[in-house]
């Protein structure tokens, strides 16, 4: 084992003229909760389908749990729980009966412990109360949870979840996120795709960002937070002097945010000045401001938000609700 649950090299998928996935080198550490993030149509589902052997790659290689795919499908897939675009449940059977069918189709699953496995999986996703209900009467969120229960029938080394909270109400979303956290706590590697930045921020240790079929970055969430530009937020009444000092230090000073009517702003009022720090240490900025007689009433140097960083990388806004 290499320490990676998933590794790809130059993995690509072409649909006629379109490169849906374009030469990605994914490295998903064992034990991580890896958020696979990107706008709609950026290639996440196609990548997942290649990893699971559901679609052939046009070029490149993929290793899952140390085994080349799709050659290793037979030995690897029993160790992987997957939720991809909802499994094909039979609508006229109950949730429990559907799970029993899937469990029976798994040759590694013993028949005698089936009832306990199915009951446990339903319990873990909070569907015990609806076990006897026919699936056609399930809401979208309940079907999504049943799909997760299916992925959880057996102990898994790796869970691959494609947009697991899609269609869930806020309560269902919270439950699924808690479930993912608890699975990760047991040591299972979780590879979860999402277009929700907040979701990835809440549950993931690592992140990979897709843009138009390319993997534009990957690494730990902490590294991700600490890269990107640092901004300075200065509170001072001496706006003109402060701007002159910052400019002299070579900082890119942001345009003033609106110019209030002079009568509305006393000369001594504290105002906000913001700038990009680049390579200058924050303490040098404060020292220069103080030396120039600028009254520093507040000073903060902070990395740009994750959201800004993702927008920079993908050129698109993310849905940050939830
Ligand atoms: N079977 C197919 N035939 C042709 N084009 C396809 C096929 N599957 C996907 N594509 C195209 O490949 C691109 C990537 O799609 P994919 O579903 O992998 O993106 P995604 O990031 O998962 O998006 P979403 O979040 O909307 O599911 C899209 O432009 C899509 O239209």
Which atom of ligand 1 is nearest to 46's Cα?
Answer: 18
Distance, CA 19 to ligand 1 centroid (Å)?
Answer: 10
| Predicted confidence pLDDT, tens digits, the chain (322 residues) | 459 999 999 999 999 889 999 999 999 999 999 999 988 889 999 999 999 998 999 999 999 999 999 888 888 888 898 888 766 789 999 999 999 998 888 777 777 888 999 999 999 888 999 999 999 999 878 888 898 898 888 888 999 999 888 877 888 788 888 888 888 888 899 999 988 787 888 889 999 999 999 999 899 988 887 776 678 889 999 999 999 999 999 888 877 755 555 556 677 888 888 888 777 888 999 999 999 999 999 998 877 667 777 777 777 655 443 3
Nearest to 148 by CA among 169, 171, 174, 126: 126
Q: Say how many Å lie between the first and final Cα of the chain, rounded.
A: 37
Rounded CA-CA distance 86/84 in Å is: 5
Which atom of ligand 1 is nearest to 49's Cα?
Answer: 18
- Say what the pLDDT of residue 320 is: 40
Rounded CA-CA distance 25/218 in Å is: 9
Domains of the chain: 4-226 (3.40.50.300), 230-303 (3.30.70)
Rounded CA-CA distance 27/50 in Å is: 15
Q: Give the closest residue (by CA) to ligand 1 atom 5.
A: 15
- Say what the pLDDT of residue 244 is: 94
Distance, CA 71 to ligand 1 centroid (Å)?
Answer: 24
Q: Give the closest residue (by CA) to ligand 1 atom 26.
A: 40
**Dihedral pair phi/psi, residue 81, rounded to 5°:** -95, 130
Sign of the alpha-carbon torsion through 201, 204, 205, 208: negative
Q: State CA 22 to chain mean position distance.
A: 20
Distance, CA 20 to ligand 1 centroid (Å)?
Answer: 6
- Say what the pLDDT of residue 251 is: 86
**Best substitution site from 18, 22, 41, 199 to test ligand 1's pocket, by max atoms within 8 Å of Cβ?**
41
Please compute Rg for the chain using Cα positions. 25
Q: Give the closest residue (by CA) to ligand 1 atom 28.
A: 41
Distance, CA 41 to ligand 1 centroid (Å)?
Answer: 5
Structure tokens at 250: 């070579």
Q: Give the closest residue (by CA) to ligand 1 atom 29.
A: 41
Q: Give the closest residue (by CA) to ligand 1 atom 16.
A: 43
**Best substitution site from 16, 20, 49, 211 to test ligand 1's pocket, by max atoms within 8 Å of Cβ?**
20
Distance, CA 229 to ligand 1 centroid (Å)?
Answer: 32
**Best substitution site from 22, 39, 42 to test ligand 1's pocket, by max atoms within 8 Å of Cβ?**
42
8 A C-beta contact, residue 284 and residue 251: no
Can you give the length of the chain in residues?
322
Structure tokens at 101: 């069918």
**Burial annotation 208-222 (CB, 10 A radius, 16+ → b, else e):** bbbbbbebbbbeebe
Distance, CA 46 to ligand 1 centroid (Å)?
Answer: 6
Q: What are the residues whose beta carbons fall under 8 Å from the beta carbon of 122, sequence distance 6 or more?
A: 95, 96, 99, 128, 131, 149
Nearest to 40 by CA among 230, 275, 318: 318
Rounded CA-CA distance 51/13 in Å is: 12
Beta strands in the chain (DSSP E): 4-15, 18-24, 27-29, 33-37, 59-64, 67-69, 80-83, 158-162, 189-194, 206-211, 214-220, 230-236, 252-253, 271-276, 298-303
Which atom of ligand 1 is nearest to 21's Cα?
Answer: 14
Give strand pairing partners of 33.
190
Q: What are the residues whose beta carbons fall under 8 Å from the beta carbon of 2, sequence distance 6 or more?
A: 63, 66
- Say what the pLDDT of residue 31 is: 93
Q: Which residues line ligand 1 (CB under 6 A)?
A: 15, 18, 20, 38, 40-46, 195
Q: What interface predicted TM-score (ipTM) does this complex get? A: 0.94
8 A C-beta contact, residue 229 and residue 313: no
Q: State CA 178 to chain mean position distance.
A: 15
Distance, CA 50 to ligand 1 centroid (Å)?
Answer: 12
8 A C-beta contact, residue 49 and residue 56: no
Rounded CA-CA distance 157/130 in Å is: 28
Give strand pairing partners of 220.
206
Distance, CA 205 to ligand 1 centroid (Å)?
Answer: 26
């Amino acid at each position: 084992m290499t320490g990676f649950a998933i590794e790809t090299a130059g993995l690509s998928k072409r649909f006629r003229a379109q490169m849906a996935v374009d030469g990605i080198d994914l490295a998903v550490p064992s034990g991580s909760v890896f958020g696979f993030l990107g706008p709609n149509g950026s290639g996440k589902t196609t990548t997942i389908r290649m990893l699971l052997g559901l679609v052939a790659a046009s070029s490149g290689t993929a290793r899952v749990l140390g085994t080349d795919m799709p050659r290793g499908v037979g030995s690897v897939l029993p160790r992987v729980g997957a939720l991809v675009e909802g499994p094909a449940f039979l609508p006229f059977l109950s949730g429990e009966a559907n799970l029993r069918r899937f469990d029976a189709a798994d040759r590694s699953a013993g028949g005698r412990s089936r009832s306990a496995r199915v009951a446990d999986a339903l319990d873990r996703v909070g569907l015990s109360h609806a076990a006897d209900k026919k699936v056609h009467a399930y809401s979208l969120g309940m079907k999504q949870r049943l799909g997760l229960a299916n992925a959880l029938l057996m102990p898994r080394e790796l869970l691959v979840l494609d947009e697991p909270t899609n269609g869930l109400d806020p309560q269902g979303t919270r439950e699924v996120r808690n479930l993912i956290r608890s699975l990760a706590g047991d040591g299972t590697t979780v590879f979860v795709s999402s277009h929700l930045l907040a979701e990835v921020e809440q549950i993931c240790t690592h992140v990979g960002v897709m843009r138009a079929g390319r993997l534009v970055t990957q690494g730990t969430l902490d590294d991700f937070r600490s890269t990107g530009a640092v901004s300075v937020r200065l509170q001072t009444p001496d706006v003109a002097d402060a701007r002159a000092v910052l400019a002299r230090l070579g900082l890119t000073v942001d345009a003033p945010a609106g110019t209030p009517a002079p009568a509305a702003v006393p000369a001594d009022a504290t105002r906000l000045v913001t700038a990009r720090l680049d390579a200058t240490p924050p303490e040098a900025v404060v020292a220069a401001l103080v030396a120039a007689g600028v009254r520093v009433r507040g000073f903060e140097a902070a990395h740009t938000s994750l959201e800004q960083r993702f927008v920079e990388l993908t050129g698109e806004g993310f849905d940050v609700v939830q």
